[in-house]
Amino acid sequence: MSPSLRQLAAIKAVCFIACLGPLAQLAWLGFADGLGANPIEYITRHLGTWTLNFLLVTLAVTPLRHISGWHWLIRLRRMLGLYAFFYATLHFLTYIWLDQFFDWASIVKDIAKRPFITAGFTAFLLLIPLAATSNTAMVKRLGGRRWTQLHRSVYAIAIIGVIHYWWLVKKDITLPLLYAVLLGALLGFRALRLARERQRQMNAYL
Amino acid sequence: MLIKRRNDIAPSEITPRTLFEGRREFIKAASATVLAGAALYAGLPRRAWADSKFADLQKSPYSILETPNSLREITTYNNFVEFGFGGKSQPAERAGAMKTRPWTVRIEGLVQKPRTLAIEDILRIAPLEERIYRLRCVEGWSMVIPWVGFPLAALIKQVEPLGSAKFVEFITQMEPAAMPGLSLPYLDWPYTEGLRLDEALHPLTLMAVGLYGDVLPNQNGAPLRLVVPWKYGFKSGKSIVRIRFTDQQPQTSWHIAQPDEYGFYANVNPDVSHPRWSQEKERRIGEFFKRRTLPFNGYAEQVASLYAGMDLRKYY
Ligand code: HEM
């Protein structure tokens, strides 16, 4: 099954709007006084959670495509990845602006001293080149092969993102563990396919 | 002390801050506001015992003049890990299931007169006071809370500690059916805290039984909790069932779990960082800008002498 160009445009539009849902939810909660006693913490965490969710959803596209045979899913991947970057940027801005209020000395100290902030900041920095090279012109300029190599760093980014989460929880690692398992499955799928592909090539060669 | 029956008035929040500026008017004003706000608020603070409300509370010279946080803030943003490690709203959602009556507290160890006291008797030990204190959490946030309670020293006097008693250990409730956190292996249960005897006897150290003129909501540690305002919040054990006098420094729950992160003394100190974050600043709940954290949480004048000559970096 493959959607027509018009259908695909419609799917993209729906997806685009759905991805704004978590942001709209925040706005609504803010409006309805639903952010709890510590709204800044709530906002930071909500945006962090959705950054990680979008990273994992982006990484789920390829496995889903292979399992379902819906190859058009790949057409949504750039948007999902850019949304991950969008939420990461908001998450980072919340930290810089609402949490620290541009106290740069304190921010630099935090990044250097608090391992979970170091990890989050690293993941964010690594996302920037991916966002910057996401348009078609950049893919052409880099060449498909180099582009692919560069964008493989998203695996590392997701892993560092999970580590960031793992390090920041006080004691209960249930949720970070869940994310680690999901990410393991998504990366494991790729590793398995790669191993099978190698095997197939080897067999063909023999 | 007098306990007035309160019939079927539901407790509540949304008590405008401005009301509390005139604290003398507070108790009267609060009951009216409580009624008005009742309909608006779903997560009602869970009551400890029946519908009682304290009357004739004494004002205390130890109260600070800062504006208290709202009842809603104080009762929906809590750490009470027996009810879960998964977020500040869990205690408010879950603590209602805890039984707080009958409640007895066993006082034992190196004392002349060990005894088991019912909560009703504990309430009669000393006149109840309103004490408005700062509370600073080790996580970097703070509140101002109008407690109701009496000095722990009054309770200690009743049992006559022996000369050999040097420390006091506070052991808190375990009710597995109501406390899902107890099945998690993160802390050595029951949650145990401790003080040096001179810290326990300090007039600022409070046994709290209420909040905002009313009985303590379960999520805040009903029916009886410790409040040590110059130390990080985790030192102030909630829902206490046993108090033990010892000659050895007690092993305390968070210290056992992460000795480098949570010391026995845990005095609020902007100059000693938690290994994972700085303690220089704090976010007062309800405020946008962070404020500087004060040594001993602003109580240095009263308590710094307890630690004269001690290296506070070593004894964090
Ligand atoms: C790709 C990058 C990032 C990802 C995937 C990510 C993900 C997360 C997640 C999942 C949480 C926990 C949410 C929760 O508890 O429900 C979180 C919290 C947080 N993150 Fe990030 N994050 C990233 C980058 C950053 C950066 C760059 C910073 C700041 C420099 C940062 C600072 C924080 C802070 C301060 C918290 C809240 C901690 C707390 O409330 O105790 N993160 N992040």
- In order of A198, B40, B188, B247, B314, the CA distances from B196 in angstroms are 67, 44, 21, 10, 16
Percent of chain B surpassing pLDDT 90: 73
For residues B154 and B220, the answer to whether their CB atoms sit within 8 Å is: no
Please judge whether A36 and B76 are an interchain contact, meaning their C-beta atoms are less than 8 angstroms apart.
yes
Domains of chain B: 11-307 (3.90.420.10)
Is the pLDDT at B30 greater than 80, yes or no? no
B188 phi, psi to nearest 5 deg: -80, 100
Residue of A45, A93, A126 to test ligand 1 pocket, by largest number of atoms within 8 Å of CB:
A45
pLDDT per residue over B274-285, tens digit each?
877 889 999 999
Least CB–CB distance from B85: residue in A38, A100, A171: A171
ipTM over 0.90: no
**Residues of A whose CB is below 8 A from B289:** 101
Rounded to the nearest angstrom, the distance between the alpha carbon of B257 and the centre of ligand 1 is 24
Q: Where are the beta strands (DSSP E) in B111-205?
A: 115-118, 129-136, 141-151, 167-172, 192-196
CA A2-A7-A57 angle, 5° bins: 75
**Distance of alpha carbon B189 from alpha carbon B181, whole angstroms:** 10
H-run or E-run covering A9? helix A5-18
Tell me the shortest Cα–Cα distance from A116 to chain B, in angstroms. Answer: 8
Is the pLDDT at B43 greater than 50, yes or no? no
Confidence class of residue B99 from pLDDT cuts 50, 70 and 90? very high
Residue of A41, A42, A44 to test ligand 1 pocket, by largest number of atoms within 8 Å of CB:
A44
Residue A113 at interface with chain B, using a CB cutoff of 8 Å: yes
CA A1 from centroid of its chain's CA atoms = 27
Q: In this predicted structure, what is the pLDDT of residue A1? A: 66
Q: Is the CB of A114 under 6 A from ligand 1?
A: no
Please judge whether A172 and B281 are an interchain contact, meaning their C-beta atoms are less than 8 angstroms apart.
no
Is the pLDDT at A176 greater than 50, yes or no? yes
Burial per residue of A175-205, b for 16 or more beta-carbon CB atoms within 10 angstroms, e otherwise: ebeebbebbeebeebeeeeeeeeeeeeeeee
H-run or E-run covering B152? helix B152-159
**Distance of alpha carbon A49 from alpha carbon A43, whole angstroms:** 10
Q: In this predicted structure, what is the pLDDT of residue B70? A: 95
Closest CA to B30 of B46, B51, B13, B47: B13
